[in-house]
């Protein structure tokens, strides 16, 4: 429990990279809402922990990069507070995939990492692999905590649930998996992927689902795998999603060395494959559509036969890969669906020299993939989750709220350390704040008028 401490360190071990977060808050206010701020965000150099081999030489390298971030933490947190500083590590889709493929290796990596974290001067709690549903739920908690949707102060300076109790849905696009989570209007709805959580004394009925292999990087490998399989020449492959003029040669294992793609016949991991860009919008859209099973769903279903209630008319925050994609095509924050489509169309029609010129601030490693990811975002949101032209404008593409990164880590820290109590001593008004305020005003006005009336009557009686 983070009781009486003002700082917590959380390591987000994602599939593509690890990030160290340092959160802080005033100790006496720890159960209030909106008091936790992000003091440090440190990107660990190198790949995600699932790609770190546990051979001594690589090991040394890997932990050295985490050590650099932990040294920054050590400098910020006063020495007297080190042993009360809680330290957690949560691993996500990269480790989920590795765990199902090679449990021994995933245990070895986690064990190795645990030894290192235990050797630090902090109050190490645990390092674990989260389930996709937990990841989605914690993302939802982060979003609503940062937006102040759980509690607000009423006119009596007491914490109450905001009038209307509108919560914001959460959509996270990672490298290996993607999550959606939102509250259901019907508090009694039960079923697959619906969880009930009690926060600050209120019950929330939340739908949360995580799609493994639908993260931005793994889904791109699936697109490339389709192109390789459908190509007449399996070593010289046209990629419609890359800009014309962009060619790259990669080893087959960089596409097929994952559980997310099916191995081709006569698979040779070292076989080199040349991918040749062609800036072909329609072909890119079609191959991206092809990785989703959009046919096995009818009502209340997203894709791949997964149950999903309608997204409704509420607001959503889309972050991580959603934000990077929106930023690359120039449509962060709120946009119209038509705008997204036309911007994607224009972006994907540019050849590589034009892309480099127009988006000179983006490094090649990311730039080559944004045409694919713009189509991917449109497909998953519209064909998958069933956003339409009216509800698309409810999606806000962001990476931060109040200078704090949006992701599962803050929600995990708040929940795991009990900083969001299930029950809270709240004043529960029998009516909405605004109605209560209005009635209060009315009664005050009536009292004043009555007193004045009595005074006037008394004065008149004297004459």
Choose the contact partner of 217 out of ligand ITT, Ca ion, none; CB within 5 to 8 A by kind: ligand ITT
DSSP structure class, residue 43: E
Is residue 15 involved in binding ligand ITT (CB under 6 A)? yes
Tokens of 123: 């109050």
Beta carbon of residue 166, minimum distance to ligand ITT (angstroms, whole number): 26
Q: Kindly state the helix (H) or strand (E) to which residue 413 belongs, with its residue range.
A: helix 408-416
Catalytic, out of 30, 134, 135, 218 = 135
174: contact with Ca ion by CB under 5 A:
yes
- Within 10 Å of residue 364's Cβ, how many Cβ atoms? 12
Q: Which two tokens stand for residue 459?
A: 């004065």
Q: What is the DSSP letter of 201?
A: T
Angle made by CA atoms 388, 392, 395, in degrees to the nearest 5:
150
Determine which residue in the list 142, 217, 281, 416 makes contact with ligand ITT, applying CB under 6 A.
217
Q: Which of 24, 177, 208, 417 binds ligand ITT (CB under 6 A)?
A: 177
Question: Which of 7, 14, 21, 280 is close enough to bind Ca ion by CB under 5 A?
Answer: 14
135 an active-site residue?
A: yes
Cβ proximity to Ca ion, 147 vs 176, nearer residue: 176
Cα(first)–Cα(last) distance of the chain, in Å?
73
Q: Which range in 90-98, 101-109, 227-235, 442-450 contacts ligand ITT by CB under 6 A? A: 90-98
Whole-angstrom distance, CA of residue 206 vs CA of residue 187: 9
Among 8, 9, 10, 16, binds ligand ITT (CB under 6 A): 16
Closest separation between CB of residue 430 and ligand ITT, Å?
42
Partner whose footprint covers residue 324, from ligand ITT, Ca ion, none (CB < 5 to 8 Å by kind): ligand ITT
Query: Exposed (0-12), middle (13-18) or buried (19+): which is 426, by Cβ within 10 Å?
Result: middle
Q: How far is the CB of 306 from ligand ITT (least distance, A)?
A: 17
366 binds, among Ca ion, ligand ITT, none (CB under 5 to 8 A by kind): ligand ITT
Residue 136 is a binding residue for ligand ITT (CB under 6 A): no
Q: Choose the one of ligand ITT, Ca ion, none that binds residue 176, judging by a C-beta under 5 to 8 angstroms depending on kind.
A: ligand ITT
Q: Is 92 a binder of ligand ITT (CB under 6 A)?
A: yes
Give the pair of three-digit tokens for residue 103.
């449990």
What is the torsional sign of CA 237, 351, 285, 256? positive
Measured at the CA of 81, the angle between CA 77 and CA 87, to 5 degrees, comes to: 75
| 48 interacts with, out of ligand ITT, Ca ion, none, CB within 5 to 8 A per kind | ligand ITT
Alpha helices (runs of H) in 249-280, residue ranges in sequence order: 253-256
How many residues would you count in the chain?
Answer: 463
Which of 167, 171, 176, 225: binder of ligand ITT (CB under 6 A)? 176
- Which of 90, 139, 169, 174 forms a contact with ligand ITT (CB under 6 A)? 174
Instruction: Answer yes or no: are the C-beta atoms of 375 and 348 closer than 8 Å.
Output: yes
CB 106 to ligand ITT: min, Å: 13
Residue 369 parent element (H or E)? none
Shortest distance (Å) from residue 17 CB to ligand ITT = 5
- Distance CA(251)–CA(122), nearest Å, equals 42
175 annotated among ligand-binding-site residues: yes
Determine whether the annotation assigns residue 174 to a binding site. Answer: no
Instruction: Tally Cβ neighbours within 10 Å of residue 222.
Output: 21
7 has which bridge partners? 24
- Site residues (CB under 6 A) for ligand ITT, limited to 325-354: none
Write down the least CB distance from residue 191 to ligand ITT, Å: 25
Q: Please, which residue, 216 or 368, has the CB nearer to ligand ITT?
A: 216
Dig out the tokens for 297 from the structure.
């769903």
Task: Select the residue interacting with ligand ITT from 2, 93, 206, 228 (CB under 6 A).
Answer: 93
Residue 452 CA to residue 446 CA, distance in Å, equals 10
Q: Is 215 near ligand ITT (CB under 6 A)?
A: yes
Q: Is residue 210 part of the contact set for ligand ITT (CB under 6 A)?
A: no
CA distances from 462 to 299, 448, 449, 450 (A): 79, 21, 20, 19
Helix, strand or coil for residue 370?
Answer: helix
Q: Which residues bind ligand ITT (CB under 6 A)?
A: 14-17, 48, 92-94, 174-177, 215-217, 320-321, 324, 366
| Binding-site annotation, residues | 175-179
Q: Which residues bind Ca ion (CB under 5 A)?
A: 14, 174
| Binding-site annotation, residues for ATP | 175-179
Q: Which residues are catalytic?
A: 135
């Amino acid at each position: 429990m983070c009781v009486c401490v003002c700082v917590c360190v959380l390591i987000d071990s994602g599939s593509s990279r690890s990030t160290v977060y340092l959160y802080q808050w005033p100790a006496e206010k720890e159960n209030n809402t909106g008091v936790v701020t992000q003091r440090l965000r440190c990107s660990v150099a190198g790949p995600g922990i699932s790609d770190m081999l546990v051979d001594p030489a690589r090991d040394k390298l890997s932990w050295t990069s985490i050590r650099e971030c932990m040294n920054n933490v050590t400098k910020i947190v006063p020495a007297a507070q080190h042993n009360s500083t809680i330290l957690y590590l949560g691993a996500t889709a990269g480790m989920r995939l590795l765990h199902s493929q090679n449990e021994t290796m995933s245990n070895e990596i986690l064990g190795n990492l645990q030894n290192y974290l235990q050797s630090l001067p902090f109050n190490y709690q645990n390092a674990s692999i989260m389930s996709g549903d937990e990841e989605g739920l914690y993302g939802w908690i982060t979003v609503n905590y940062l937006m102040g949707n759980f509690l607000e102060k009423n006119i009596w300076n007491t914490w109450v649930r905001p009038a209307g109790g509108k919560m914001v849905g959460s959509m996270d696009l990672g490298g290996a998996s993607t999550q959606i989570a939102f509250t259901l209007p019907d508090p009694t709805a039960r079923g697959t992927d619906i969880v009930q959580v009690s926060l600050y004394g209120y019950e929330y009925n939340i739908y949360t689902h995580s799609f493994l292999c639908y993260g931005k990087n793994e889904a791109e490998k699936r697109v490339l795998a389709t192109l390789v399989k459908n190509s007449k020449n399996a070593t010289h492959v046209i990629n419609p999603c890359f800009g014309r003029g962009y060619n790259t040669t990669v080893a087959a294992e960089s596409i097929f060395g994952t559980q997310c793609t099916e191995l081709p016949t006569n698979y040779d991991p070292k076989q080199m494959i040349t991918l040749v860009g062609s800036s072909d919008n329609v072909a890119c859209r079609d191959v991206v559509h092809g990785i989703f099973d959009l046919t096995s769903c009818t009502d209340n279903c997203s894709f791949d036969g997964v149950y999903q209630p309608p997204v409704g008319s509420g607001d959503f925050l889309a972050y991580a890969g959603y934000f990077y994609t929106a930023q690359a095509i120039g449509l962060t924050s709120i946009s119209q669906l038509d705008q997204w489509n036309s911007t994607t169309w224009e972006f994907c029609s540019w050849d590589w020299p034009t892309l480099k010129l127009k988006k000179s601030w983006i490094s090649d490693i990311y730039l080559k993939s944004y045409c694919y990811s713009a189509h991917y975002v449109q497909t998953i949101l519209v064909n998958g989750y069933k956003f339409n032209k009216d509800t698309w404008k409810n999606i806000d593409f962001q990476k931060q709220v109040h200078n704090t990164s949006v992701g599962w880590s803050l929600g995990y820290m708040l929940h795991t350390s009990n900083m969001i109590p299930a029950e809270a001593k709240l004043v529960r008004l029998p009516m909405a704040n605004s109605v209560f305020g209005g009635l209060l005003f009315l009664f005050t006005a009536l009292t004043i008028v009555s007193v004045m009336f009595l005074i006037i009557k008394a004065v008149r009686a004297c004459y």
